[in-house]
Amino acid sequence: MKTTIEINNQTINVDLSKPLDISLPIQANEENPLAWYLTEPTIEPVQMEDWVGKVSEGASVNFNNIYFNPHGHGTHTESFGHISEEFYSVNDALKTFFFIAEVISVNTTEVGEDEVIFEETIRQALNRKTPEAIVIRTLPNTSEKKMKHWSNTNWPFLHEKAAHYLREIGVKHLLIDLPSVDQEMDDGKLLAHKAFWNYPENPRKDCTITELIYVPNSIVDGEYLLNLQMASFHNDASPSKPVLYKIY
């Protein structure tokens, strides 16, 4: 059923019964995506002496501990606190949760051994649009991304000038299907993170970066309603569940 919504002085029609989930779940097996040299997450029942928190082993409930890292184990949203000396929680950065987003598909450009997403590529894909949120799908786009082990792969990255351009046109929420907007090995420069958040000069405290999403090929490029859901962790980053809705 279509619903009329007003957002940022714009009236749109969406069908909230047809969500398009672009998140990757955290699961305790080898099919979980991995980055930053981490092993797979652990989900296991609590054990207290002879008691095991597992119904199949006699407990009345399943009662698990979960050990994971939001940056390396699945879709996550982060604040500028990810790169700042001072603590800043992503829970303070994200106060509203619905945005008009533009989904774009981009090719990378080979520069030596690197694959780079340049400003001009982003400009062409946006075609003069200035969305509040942008969802970047890198090409080629295969289902292997959902379970890829990214460590030591020198993944594609967003050029500093491309991140600066997104900041200049007013993009507040950047989503990408890579472990990081920055290069895997960059000597800690984090140029794209810093350019997007305008850090350290004047940090954009209400802006977020979401990484390790997966946008199926069935989702065409264009404008969507984005619901950026996030677990309430008092941390620089949190596991998140971005969901798109087609605009009619």
Whether the predicted pLDDT of 208 surpasses 90: yes
Cβ-based burial of 247 (10 A; exposed 0-12, middle 13-18, buried ≥19): middle
Q: How confident is the model at residue 8 (pLDDT cuts 50, 70, 90)?
A: confident
Among the residues of the chain, which ranges form H helices?
90-93, 119-126, 160-168, 191-197
- Section 116-145 average pLDDT: 98
Any domain includes 42: no
Instruction: Output the pLDDT for position 1.
Output: 80
Instruction: Output the pLDDT for position 203.
Output: 98
Any domain includes 99: yes
Any domain includes 13: yes
Any domain includes 208: yes
Any domain includes 39: no
Compute the distance between CA of residue 215 and CA of residue 14 in angstroms, rounded to an integer.
19
Could you read off the pLDDT of 49-100 as tens digits, one per residue?
Answer: 999 999 999 999 999 999 999 999 999 999 999 999 999 999 999 999 999 9
- Of 8-12, 116-120, 164-168, which range is least confident? 8-12
Q: How confident is the model at residue 167 (pLDDT cuts 50, 70, 90)?
A: very high
The residue range of the domain holding 238 is 2-28+70-246
Any domain includes 186: yes
CATH code of the domain containing 153: 3.50.30.50
Could you read off the pLDDT of 13-51 as tens digits, one per residue?
Answer: 999 999 999 999 999 999 999 999 999 999 999 999 999
Average pLDDT, the chain: 97
Tokens of 91: 């829970």
- Asked if 134 and 100 touch (Cβ cutoff 8 Å), the reply is no
Count of domains observed in the chain:
1
Q: How confident is the model at residue 134 (pLDDT cuts 50, 70, 90)?
A: very high
- Asked if 17 and 56 touch (Cβ cutoff 8 Å), the reply is no
Any domain includes 44: no
- Beta strand 42-45 with 64-67 is antiparallel
Name 76's bridge partners.
211, 239
Whether the predicted pLDDT of 244 surpasses 90: yes
Instruction: Output the pLDDT for position 42.
Output: 98
Any domain includes 49: no
